Every structure is written in C-alpha cells, then in structure tokens.
Amino acid sequence: MLDLIAFDADDTLWHSEILYSDVQERFQDLLSPYDLDGRARRELYETEIQNLQYFGYGIKGFALSMIETAIRISDGQIQASEILEIVDLAKGMLKAQVRLLDRVPEVVAELAASYPLMVVTKGDLVDQERKVAQSGLGSYFAHVEITSDKSEDFYRALLARHHIAPERFLMVGNSLRSDILPVIALGAHAVHIPYHVTWAHEAVGVPGGNTREYVELEDIGLLPMFVQKLCQGDGKEAGAS
C-alpha cells in the first residue's frame, strides 16, 4: 500500500521545457548580429549552470542568465532596447497559459480518489504557485512542495516531515536527476515518464548499485494500472520497460 503519491510538475503534469526551447531560439536570433560563431545557446546553458547557486531554477533566473550572456557575447555592445526584448521574452514565459499533458486530468482525478497526492516541484515560488492554480488540478493535491532543488537529503526530510516510510512513497516525474535517482536511493518507489524535450542539466546516466529499480512508462495514462499492481505486490511488471 502507498501512503503518498507525489508528482513532479513541469513536463510531468504540464508542458514547460518547450517554452525554454522556443525562447532559446529567439534569443539566438536576437544575438545573431553579435554572435558570429553561433555560440549563444551553448554559452547561455553554461551561464545558467553557473548561476544556479545564485538564482536557483525557474524563469527569472533564466532571464538573468540570458541578459548576462547577451552582454558578454556582444562585448557590452548590446542595446538597451534589445535587453528589453529579452525581458519581454521572459515575461511572455511567465504569462503563458498552463497546458496539461494528455490524460493528466483523468489520471490525477482517478488516483486522488484512492490515495493522498502531492506536487513536488522546483523553481520560482510565485511562478509555480501560479501554474498549480491555473492547472485546475490544485484541489486534488493534499500538499504542494516547492523547493530550490531535489536531492536525496530533500526527499529524506520530506518523508520524515510527513511521517512516511520510503517503501510507502511513490514519486512520478520526467527527470532522472531530480525525480527518480534520489528517490530510489532512499528505497522508495519511482516512475519515470520521459518528456520529449529534456534540459541538458537533467539528462544523466543511470549509475549502478541502486537499492531499488525504477519503472519507466511511455504515458501517464498507464500510471493507475501500475499503481494498482504495485499495491498488489506486482509493480515491477506493471508496464515497466
């Protein structure tokens, strides 16, 4: 039996990374007069990674990294009007309507009828709260956890705070780095549902020696059947790949 099922939000419940990909293309086009080597996207990624310790995850940190990258690539020659265009790109992302992935509403509703549900997401507090509210799914979740990062220590503290044994916890998400590997390291259950676009920072190999395997599902619509079989003691074969 499970005491709690937790869902990642971005690219698990609703589309997110595609917004970043679209803006990165527009950012590269904007910098084309200064970026003769076509390195804007590569340098933006490197700047984002360096800035995670300062700004964390989310659109606001992404916007600051775009501005920093633009100033560096242009050798300080970028115009104020072009900086404003970058700011407007970020605002557009923050105003974008939440688009749920296929089958998410019915799956969440079905599972909420039998299990306590939680959202566990990292990023900017205001933006993530906005997306949960706009999604129309908020009433199904008993808890919403918005954090600066998802590490093994974070999940350990989360389970302790809610008095849940790892073997009675299931995490569902699209990121191996954030949603899957830290959870199975604790001996909990995890379901990986890949999204068709993955941020390079979240793309990791699977190390050996994990205490528990995880399951990969092609579609979130397969999740209720997996949960049912897991609770009947047959979860490993419930749609695993």
**Whether domain 4-15+98-237 has CATH 3.40.50.1000:** yes
Question: For residue 145, what are the β-bridge partners?
Answer: 120
What is the residue extent of each domain of the chain?
4-15+98-237, 17-95
Average the pLDDT over 17-24 and give the result: 93
Scan for tokens 């998410």, then name that residue: 104
Q: Is 147 helix (H, G, I), strand (E, B) or coil?
A: strand
Whether the pLDDT of residue 2 is over 90: the answer is: yes
pLDDT averaged over the chain? 90
Whether the pLDDT of residue 240 is over 90: the answer is: no
Per-residue pLDDT reduced to its tens digit, 135-166: 999 999 999 999 988 999 999 999 999 999 99
CB-based burial, 193-232: b 16+ in 10 Å, e otherwise: bebeebbeebeeeeeeeeeeebbebeebbbbbebbebbbe
Whether the pLDDT of residue 33 is over 80: the answer is: yes
Tell me the residue length of the chain. Answer: 241
> Two tokens at 204?
């990791």
Whether the pLDDT of residue 16 is over 90: the answer is: yes
Per-residue pLDDT reduced to its tens digit, 182-228: 999 999 999 999 987 654 544 556 555 544 589 999 999 999 999 99
How far is the C-alpha of 161 from the C-alpha of 136, rounded, in Å? 27
Per-residue pLDDT reduced to its tens digit, 82-132: 999 999 999 999 999 999 999 999 999 999 999 999 999 998 999 999 999
Report the CATH architecture of 17-95: Orthogonal Bundle (1.10)
